[in-house]
Amino acid sequence: MTFKRSSGVLLHVSSLPGQDGIGDLGSVAYQFVDFLSATRTKLWQVLPLNPTGYGNSPYQGLSASAGNPLFISLEELIPLGILSKKELSKRPRFSKNMVDFGKVILWKMGKLHQAFLNFQYRKTPQQEKDFRKFCGKNKDWLDDFALFMTIKNQQELHAWDAWPDALRFRDPAAIKEFARLNKDSITEEKFYQYLFFEQWQRLKKYANQKGVQIVGDIPIFVGFDCADTWTNPDLFYFDDQFKPTIVAGVPPDFFSETGQLWGNPLYDWEKHKKSGYQWWIRRIQNTLDLVDIIRLDHFRGFAGFYAIPAGNKTAEIGEWMDGPRSDLFDALYAHFGDLPFIAEDLGVMTPDVVELRERYNLPGMKIVQFGFNPSPEVDFQPHHIQENAVAYTGTHDNSTAKGWFKSVPEEAQDYFLAYAGQTKETIAHAMIRLLWMSSAVFAVAPMQDLLDLGDEARMNLPGSLGNNWEWKMDAKWESDKLRHWFAEINHLYSRD
């Protein structure tokens, strides 16, 4: 697909200011869209929107299709008559600049449960009709997801491989009986999805009307503990006990002597091919219902993937296996026509990966920080970035621009300052300006860089546990100065 020169901001929904401890799809989300529109910014990039499990990573979601109930705005439920102001009057005191997931889950899920009880007794005929319509439209994934979550909640949130055998192996009689005994709880899970999708679609429509497109994210792999693996074990490399035989990661390299052991289950691509890639077609369709442009995470995995024997403690032992390559993409393009894909092609790209990306004319990604590191990647320097690229100051996995500058040696700092020239701007704003000047069709900066924040606002540190995905903007995030500056550079560099 041919994209038009424009700019964007990377900000996950969870990072919006929110009085319920986490960003949501309420009034502040609309204010953020207004900010983008007023500054002539055309793209809002988010991370995966799926519900998260242990660790709160959106890249280890509980479903490839469901939305995160924590993003539902409780305030938006008041006009619907399913929550009252009184029921929201005793909010806990939440942090202003971080998400305390434990505290948030306890508060929000309790209130969403109350909303469901109220809905059962207060719903209007139109609300009931809309709910039933939603359930019917999304039946292909919603029924299994609601069943999965209900069992998981009853099993004290244990992963599905620890469930009783009859439920783990989806014995038809056991599943039917469980569904009969837990009808209301299953309906409640569907209700949460109904609320999420209704609020999200309304927000997306508003953004599109304001000239803002949503850039979403598809992680190539799913986590083991998700509805999709439980429902479709035959599509993965599992043994007869539905345990992974090989898992995902990357081999040892300059950055890690033992490689990276991600642990995600790996697709049995031959099984996907025999089905006509129906699971992937449904996944792409469900994502396109939510966003306008899709970032394909770990694009190199579609060409070839590193398989590590399950149970290994490191990624030192493994083998490269062939991915579906053009066979998958030909099937997707045959079904959908042209597709709005961005290829996340960071890291060491082999010729087959480059060939796959170029075959479909997909823009790759460039991280400007990498262009000024002590061992700079010159392809990532603004004057080298080609038009068919999406360029970032950094992503959710990087330091902020301010944090990056403080962390690199003095010679790297001097190099960047010489490149930026005489400027009174902050390091972050200088980097944004340089990026906006480049030929890249899309130029994107995390909101942290617009706000000139340090690594206290970093979203994720790969390979670490704890303190990730928690950053949240302060309520006083917007200023006339920032609005005017951002509108000016969008205009100066023809990104408006």
Among this protein's residues, is 352 annotated catalytic?
no
Which residue among 24, 225, 297, 345 is the active-site one? 297
Which residue among 144, 188, 189, 344 is the active-site one? 344
Angle ∠(304,308,311) on CA atoms, nearest 5: 155
Three-class SS state of 248? strand
Task: Using DSSP bridges, classify how beta strands 293-296 and 341-343 pair: parallel, antiparallel or unpaired.
Answer: parallel
CA-CA distance, 491 to 489, in Å (whole number)?
5
Angle ∠(235,239,302) on CA atoms, nearest 5: 35
User: Do 486 and 29 touch, CB atoms closer than 8 A?
Assistant: no
CB atoms within 10 A of CB 437: 17
| Cβ-proximal residues to 370 (8 Å cutoff; 6+ apart), any chain | 376, 377, 380
Among this protein's residues, is 184 annotated catalytic?
no
CA-CA distance, 347 to 117, in Å (whole number)?
49
- Kindly report the backbone phi and psi dihedral angles of residue 73, in degrees, each rounded to the nearest multiple of 5, phi listed first: -80, 120
User: Do 21 and 92 touch, CB atoms closer than 8 A?
Assistant: yes
Which amino acid is residue 94, in one-letter code?
A: F
Which residue among 268, 397, 478, 488 is the active-site one? 397
Among this protein's residues, is 128 annotated catalytic?
no
CA-CA distance, 174 to 475, in Å (whole number)?
49
Q: Where are the beta strands (DSSP E) in 211-303?
A: 213-218, 246-250, 260-265, 293-296
Active site residues: 297, 344, 397
